[in-house]
Amino acid sequence: MTSPRTAIKRALLGRPRSSRELGHQLLPRWMALPVFSSDPLSSVAYATQEMMLVLALAGAGAFSLVLPLSGAVALLMVVVITSYRQTVRAYPHGGGAYIVARENLGDTPGLVAGAALLIDYALTVAVSIAAGVAAITSAAPGMMEHRAGAALGFLLLVALANLRGVKEAGLLFALPTYTFVATILTLVLVGVARCGLGVGGCPQAPSAGTSLEAGGALTLFLVLRAFSSGATALTGVEAISNGVTAFRYPQSRNAAATLGIMGVLAVSMFLGISYLARATGVVASEGMARTVVAEIALTVFGEGPGFYLVQVVTAAILILAANTAFADFPRLASVLARDRFLPRQFLSRGDRLAFSNGIVLLSLFAALLLVVYGADVTELIQLYVVGVFTSFTLSQAGMVLHWRRVREPGWQRASVLNAAGAVTTGVVLMVVAVTKFLSGAWIVVLAIPLVVLGMRWVHNHYAEVSLQLRAGVAEPEARRPHHAIVLLDRVDEAAARALSYALATSPTSLQAFAVPLPGSDVERRWRELAPEVPVRVLQGADQRGTVEALATALHAEAERHGPGAFTTAIVPETLSRSWAQQLLEHRLALRLKARLLREGGLVVTDLTSPEGGPGPYTLEEPVEHHVVVLVAGVHKATMRALAYAQALRPTTIRALSVNLEPDRDGLPMLAQWEDWGVDVPLELIDSPFRSLSGAVRRYVQRFVPDGRHTIVTCVLPEFVLEHAYHQPLHNQTALLVKAALLFERGVVTTSVPYHLHLGRDASREVEARGTS
């Protein structure tokens, strides 16, 4: 029976997709255009306006520079698109700025490009949705005070569409994108025919002739600032180079062709809008009731269906332009995670083959920007573009070195083109950084190095962990004695089964620790159940006191046994008929297990039993005890888990590794397993739906565990870290597996801790290895 949570998830996102379906998610050109190019195509709706708003500070006479500046922006766009067409051909497996810069310029330039893009994608979502809401308020001014709430609502819809999968997003966004292009081109053609060719006379905009009080002189700084605002038309141009692998084959050829189509459309629409803004006399100013595009549409089509169609499709494409960032941010995050510069969780694909964690993180960042800036386009635009041109410049500079290295036929011409692109975008970057610095660009200038430092920190952490896990002699751990302690607050069916399980593991010593519930008479009932097993009664005044009392006593016991032995705390849990009681008891058990694992030294075993009657209870040791050790990598933590499994003296021991990636080759892991000389067989299984917990659950069910005759212990190696801020980088899969198996009949989960001591010595060794 499907749970309510799963039913809601399926209704919103659809059925899970197998990894084998990934090839069917590749996009043809016509679908890739709206997925990866909706941002640069939609930028024409606000790029001219933002340029005019800056020029307005010098008075209406400064609008004479709109066309020259637009021509310069269009030329810049042509240079950048031409450069990126070369990039996608040179990097057919994806040639985003991060990959190109890191491969050719080094780690730090690559990380700067990656950080700039991550920040820019979050801004792209916020700016696009805010601009879409602005188009709606142009037609319905009464919605102005609700624009932040409306923006968050549209953000949620776009995020849900992307969580359903890239292809579904392409199908959803194709019609609005192509309708927008057709509508704007029609607007431009009709407007040019009337104003340029004199067909019917050139109408004047409602705002034409409006006087503007000049706030200052028309300085070079103001002109450059206007140019930098108009350069927002280039945002999203790099998206196709990041998403080459999403295209149908031949991928690089289709990506280059799509870039060319996008360039022709974007340049044509941008120049057309800028020309009509001048020809119809539009006067842009702060607080204007309608956007520049709305003014032009009202002028050319009149207040009729044509005007409202332009507003509707403009709002739609601006909101959906956020999809460009949703298509690329998760892909870039997954690449950074693959290189261990971001948490490994960003590598995982969701049920619908989308990088769900990246989509969720991008949504949160964009929502924060929309709330902080009140969905105001003019405020948000000040943060924009710095990241774009940083990545442009580093990517093109990297391509120059790439051509010099490979020296393919025609490399000189290609190198000159990319060099021209690098110089041009570098100059624009300096202009943008200087002219927008005090207006908000300083935030991005500061944020990029901070993000780079964060990624360096993540990478160094993973390198330190890898160093500790694989340093020294590669061999299994020696067998150790095993001591078991059963924890209880009352004697019931769960306590009896926990003791039966402990006896079946043939421990060197066995005892019970009890923090009794009021009126439970633990000592007497325990003597009736197991007179030969000693019980130690502790006192805890409340939940916190119970956890503290048990943790203190258990760690003292583990220290007494010493590091050469395993000490296991067995935590019995009862599957209560009351969900409220179940929640209360499980919360207490969870706190206790987390405390015991966090401080280390203790193996923690979780054993669940159905709610039993009042007793008496009997001890029934299982006839068959199978142990399954989960293997994520071949290292010391895995060897310790295997040593623990052998200490349990089970019927069989299996080592299990689940492959969640369809293209991953299991042979290297098998070779490492053999190199370590492990005598336990390693089984590799695929999980077509990328569900580790589901694959493990199905695997243990093969043993037909019933909790009495047959029992299965699933052993999970877990890292014990010195600092809580390291925890999100690890053990997420272990939590999922334990949650999935918690209520599985006859299945016991055991966490074997492995201490990681990360300090300055380890960091220096990592850095030394990196520079050697």
- Hey, which bits of 591-645 come out as E strands? 603-610, 624-630
3-state secondary structure of 653: strand
pLDDT-derived band at 257, boundaries 50, 70, 90:
very high
Tokens 């519930």 correspond to 517
Residues found in the chain: 772
Q: Provide mean pLDDT across the span 92-102.
A: 82
pLDDT at 459: 94
pLDDT at 1: 46
d(CA 470, CA 159): 40
The CA-atom distances, in angstroms, between 571 and each of 501, 510, 644, 750 are 11, 14, 17, 10
3-state secondary structure of 514: strand
Please tell me which residue, 63 or 169, carries the higher pLDDT value.
63
d(CA 395, CA 587): 50
Of 309, 360, 334, 444, give the one whose Cα is nearest residue 155. 360
pLDDT at 771: 41
Beta bridge partners of 514: 488, 537
pLDDT at 217: 78
710 Cβ neighbours under 8 A, 6+ residues apart: 622, 623, 624, 625, 626, 703, 704, 746
- Give the DSSP per-residue string, 107-172: HHHHHHHHHHHHHHHHHHHHHHHHHHHHHHHHH-GGGGGGHHHHHHHHHHHHHHHHHT-HHHHHHH
Q: Provide mean pLDDT across the span 339-351.
A: 84
Please tell me which residue, 207 or 215, carries the higher pLDDT value.
207
pLDDT-derived band at 488, boundaries 50, 70, 90:
confident
536-566 residues labelled b (16+ CB within 10 A) or e (exposed)? eebeeeeeeebbbbbbebbbebbeebeeeeb
Q: Provide mean pLDDT across the span 204-211.
A: 82
Beta bridge partners of 625: 711
pLDDT at 534: 92
CB 100 within 8 A of CB 87: yes
Residue 586 tokens, joined: 């499980």
Of 415, 421, 322, give the one whose Cα is nearest residue 365. 322
d(CA 505, CA 438): 68
Please tell me which residue, 358 or 739, carries the higher pLDDT value.
358
Residue 125 CA, distance from chain mean position: 15
Radius of gyration (C-alpha) of the chain in whole angstroms: 32
Residue 247, pLDDT above cutoff 90? no
pLDDT at 588: 65
pLDDT-derived band at 596, boundaries 50, 70, 90:
confident
CB 568 within 8 A of CB 526: no
Residue 100 tokens, joined: 């190109």
Q: Provide mean pLDDT across the span 82-110.
A: 86
pTM attached to this predicted model: 0.80
Sign of torsion, CA 646 651 655 657?
negative
Please tell me which residue, 562 or 768, carries the higher pLDDT value.
562
Please tell me which residue, 414 or 714, carries the higher pLDDT value.
714
pLDDT at 114: 93
pLDDT at 644: 93
Per the prediction, the chain carries an average pLDDT of: 83
Q: Provide mean pLDDT across the span 559-575.
A: 87
Please tell me which residue, 610 or 226, carries the higher pLDDT value.
226
* Phi then psi dihedrals of residue 748, to 5 deg: -110, 135
Q: Provide mean pLDDT across the span 57-78.
A: 90
Q: Which of 175-189, 227-241, 477-491 has the lowest mean pLDDT?
A: 227-241
Please tell me which residue, 405 or 25, carries the higher pLDDT value.
405
Q: Which of 351-355, 453-457, 537-541 has the lowest mean pLDDT?
A: 351-355
pLDDT at 579: 45
Residue 764, pLDDT above cutoff 60? no
Helix H or strand E encompassing 298: helix 292-301
Dihedral-angle region of residue 165 (phi above 0 means left; psi in -120 to 50 means alpha; beta otherwise): left
pLDDT at 190: 92
Residue 658, pLDDT above cutoff 70? yes
Residue 746, pLDDT above cutoff 70? yes
Please tell me which residue, 585 or 56, carries the higher pLDDT value.
56
Residue 715, pLDDT above cutoff 90? yes
pLDDT at 431: 86
CB 513 within 8 A of CB 550: yes
Residue 496, pLDDT above cutoff 80? yes
d(CA 432, CA 386): 6
pLDDT-derived band at 524, boundaries 50, 70, 90:
confident
d(CA 253, CA 256): 5
Burial class (CB in 10 A: 0-12, 13-18, 19+), 576: middle
426-461 residues labelled b (16+ CB within 10 A) or e (exposed)? bebbebbbebbeebbbeebbebbeebbeebeebbbb
Residues of the chain with pLDDT > 70: what percent? 88
pLDDT at 625: 93
Residue 158, pLDDT above cutoff 80? yes
pLDDT at 627: 95
Q: DSSP class of residue 497?
A: H
Residue 643, pLDDT above cutoff 70? yes
d(CA 166, CA 243): 11
The CA-atom distances, in angstroms, between 739 and each of 430, 434, 684, 701, 735 are 52, 52, 22, 16, 6
Tokens 């336990």 correspond to 680
d(CA 693, CA 699): 10
Residues of the chain with pLDDT > 90: what percent? 26
- Cβ neighbours, 10 Å, residue 747: 25
The residue type at 544: R
pLDDT at 769: 45
241-268 residues labelled b (16+ CB within 10 A) or e (exposed)? bbbbebbeeebbebbbbbbeebbebbbb
- Give the DSSP per-residue string, 361-400: HHHHHHHHHHHHTTT-HHHHHTTSSHHHHHHHHHHHHHHH
* Phi then psi dihedrals of residue 277, to 5 deg: -60, -40
681-701 pLDDT, tens digit per residue, is: 899 888 777 778 888 989 999
265-297 pLDDT, tens digit per residue, is: 999 999 999 999 999 988 888 777 788 888 999
759 Cβ neighbours under 8 A, 6+ residues apart: none
CB 253 within 8 A of CB 78: no
CB 589 within 8 A of CB 749: no
pLDDT-derived band at 759, boundaries 50, 70, 90:
low
pLDDT at 598: 75
CB 225 within 8 A of CB 67: no
pLDDT at 272: 94
34 Cβ neighbours under 8 A, 6+ residues apart: 170, 173, 174, 176, 177, 178, 320, 323
Q: Provide mean pLDDT across the span 453-460.
A: 94
298-309 pLDDT, tens digit per residue, is: 999 888 888 889
First to last CA, the chain: 57
Beta bridge partners of 711: 625
Q: DSSP class of residue 472?
A: S
617 Cβ neighbours under 8 A, 6+ residues apart: 491, 492, 493, 495, 496, 529
Residue 139, pLDDT above cutoff 80? no
pLDDT at 365: 93
pLDDT-derived band at 580, boundaries 50, 70, 90:
very low
